[in-house]
């Protein structure tokens, strides 16, 4: 691979002037610039980043540790957001798939120190608490998670608002007996959403305190889905719900199965809504699933902005708003259209 030295020789000029052209510095004669650019082209010269890093003492690298992230669709959006923000600042993302507290995580943080990363972003697959320490000389930003002592800047989805909004919409469309098939109680999002669900009922004059149930549970360290069994049970009940809000799209999938087996059709005999907007699940379900999309791209973007502009505020975690992606599942033929409250 060619060096600036070789380019300079071919262009009959000095290394420094070549460096000027490469770094788009002004004050270079047009003719000299042309000659240098031609030489660069001819030799296929590319700057050697390691040399630049060493001399300028700037690595321009930001580490992105994805904890379990790659197992779901959400990772794409988190990484894309961070990537786009990074490129805006001329920074380079260094991406790692890690396991919390595990060997890969340790090695990734080690590598990032060796590369003199300027900041580190730590992202999790779902909203939760983590235990992690920053490496020296690089701010740590938490993405979709937070630390117990709120020591680090963090960005999470606004679970309360999301549940409040989707429940309000459900009620606005006619739901009288909505049930919330929630995430495991041991999650962070679960209780926040339960509160949003209940408060939205309260705001509309509905008492929903008894309508929240667990659709999943953490058993033996593993996340177990019980949406199918719970849905089958409540749909067999005399006072069955007219709408089911699911804590995640996977639970909605199980509700679809249980509904079909109970002879009920989603979007006609029972309304269903959910959280996540996860591909491909949403596209596969018939009818299409109405679900609250989590603002992963925006979260990733915000995290990178914060990583590159340290000194800003640290805690509490910034809660980014969620939006409903409306398809066909949030409907019930039993809801009389006249009863839908109008909004202006």
Partner DNA sequence: CTGAAAGCGCTTACAG
Applying CB under 8 A, the residues found at the interface with a second copy are 1, 44, 46-51, 53-54, 59, 70-73, 75-76, 79-80, 83, 87, 92, 94-97, 104, 107, 111, 113-116, 136-137, 225, 227-228, 250, 253-254, 256-257, 260-261, 265, 279-281, 283-286
CB 322 within 8 A of CB 157: yes
Distance, in Å, from the CA atom of 82 to the CA atom of 210, rounded to the nearest integer, reads 40
**Residue 3 interaction partner, one of a second copy, DNA, none, beta carbon < 5-8 Å per kind:** DNA
- Which residue's CB is nearer to DNA, number 11 or number 156? 11
If the CB atoms of residues 40 and 154 are measured against DNA, the closer one turns out to be 40
The smaller minimum CB distance to DNA, of residues 37 and 257, is found at: 37
Tell the smallest beta-carbon distance from residue 219 to DNA (Å).
48
Look at residues 49, 133, 51 and name the one whose alpha carbon lies nearest to residue 92.
49
> Which one of DNA, a second copy, none interacts with residue 141, CB within 5 to 8 A by kind?
none
Could you tell which of DNA, a second copy, none binds residue 41, using a CB distance below 5 to 8 A set by kind? none
Minimum CB distance to DNA smaller for 17 or for 187: 17
What is the nearest approach in angstroms of DNA to the Cβ of residue 65?
23
Beta strand segments in the chain, E: 61-67, 92-98, 119-130, 140-147, 153-157, 178-182, 212-214, 216-219, 222-225, 243-246, 271-276, 290-293, 318-320, 323-325
In the complex, the smallest distance separating the C-beta of residue 200 from a second copy, rounded to whole angstroms, is 27
The item of DNA, a second copy, none sharing an interface with residue 28, based on CB under 5 to 8 Å by kind, is DNA
CB 66, min distance to a second copy, A:
9
Interior/surface letters 155-184, b for 16+ CB within 10 angstroms, e for the rest: bbbbbbbbbbbbbbbbbebbbeebbbbbbb
Nearer CB in complex with DNA: 54/236: 54
- Contacts (Cβ under 8 Å, ≥6 apart) of 238: none
- 15 touches 8 (CB < 8 A): yes
Residue 32 site contact among DNA, a second copy, none (CB < 5 to 8 Å, cut-off depends on kind): DNA
Query: Closest approach of Cβ 309 to DNA, in Å?
Result: 20
Q: How far is the CB of 154 from a second copy (least distance, A)?
A: 22
* Residue placing its CB nearer to DNA in the complex, 29 or 309: 29
Residue corresponding to tokens 């505020």: 313
- Cα 252-256-262 angle, rounded to 5 deg: 135
Interaction partner, residue 279 (DNA, a second copy, none; CB < 5-8 Å by kind): a second copy
Q: Which does 23 bind (CB under 5 to 8 A by kind): a second copy, DNA, none?
A: DNA
User: What are the backbone dihedrals phi and psi of residue 203, each rounded to the nearest 5 degrees, phi first?
Assistant: -60, -25
Closest CA to 292 of 72, 130, 67, 74: 74
The sign of the CA dihedral 29, 35, 39, 40 is positive
Minimum distance from CB of 288 to a second copy (Å)?
Answer: 11
Minimum CB separation of residue 251 from a second copy in Å reads: 8
CB contact burial 318-339 (16+ within 10 A = b; e otherwise): ebbebebeebebbbbeebeeee
Tell me the C-alpha distance between 311 and 61, whole Å. 18
161: partner contacted, choices DNA, a second copy, none (Cβ within 5-8 A by kind):
none
Q: Interface residues with DNA (CB under 7 A)?
A: 1, 3-5, 13-17, 19-20, 22-23, 26-32, 45-48, 51-52, 54-57
């Amino acid at each position: 691979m060619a060096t600036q030295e070789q380019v300079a020789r071919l262009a009959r000029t000095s290394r420094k002037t070549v460096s000027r052209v490469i770094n788009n510095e002004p004050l270079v004669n047009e003719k000299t610039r042309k000659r240098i650019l031609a030489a660069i082209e001819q030799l296929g010269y590319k700057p050697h980043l390691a040399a630049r890093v060493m001399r300028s003492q700037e690595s321009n690298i930001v580490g992105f540790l994805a904890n379990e992230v790659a197992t779901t669709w959400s990772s794409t959006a988190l990484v894309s957001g961070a990537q786009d923000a990074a490129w805006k600042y001329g920074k380079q993302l260094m991406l790692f798939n890690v396991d919390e507290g595990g060997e890969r995580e340790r090695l990734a943080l080690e590598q990032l120190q060796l590369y003199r990363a300027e900041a580190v972003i730590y992202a999790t697959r779902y909203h939760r608490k983590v235990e992690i320490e920053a490496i020296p000389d690089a701010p740590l930003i938490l993405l979709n998670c937070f630390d117990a002592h709120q020591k680090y800047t963090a960005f999470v989805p606004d679970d309360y608002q999301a549940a409040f909004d989707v429940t309000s919409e459900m009620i606005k469309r006619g739901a009288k007996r909505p049930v919330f098939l929630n995430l495991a109680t041991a999650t962070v999002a679960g209780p926040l959403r339960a509160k949003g669900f209940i408060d939205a009922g309260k705001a509309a004059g509905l008492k929903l305190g008894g309508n929240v149930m667990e659709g999943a549970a953490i058993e033996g360290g593993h996340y177990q889905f019980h949406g199918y069994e719970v849905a089958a049970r409540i749909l067999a009940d005399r006072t069955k719900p007219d709408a089911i809000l699911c804590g995640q799209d996977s639970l909605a999938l199980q509700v679809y199965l249980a509904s079909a087996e109970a002879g009920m059709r989603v979007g006609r005999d029972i309304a269903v809504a959910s959280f996540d907007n996860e591909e491909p699940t949403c596209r596969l379900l018939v009818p299409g699933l109405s679900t609250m999309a989590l603002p992963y791209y925006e979260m990733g973007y915000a995290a990178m902005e914060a990583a590159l502009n340290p000194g800003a505020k640290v805690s509490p975690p910034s809660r980014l708003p969620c939006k409903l992606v409306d398809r066909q599942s949030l409907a019930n033929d039993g809801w009389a259209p006249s009863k839908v409250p109008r909004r202006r």
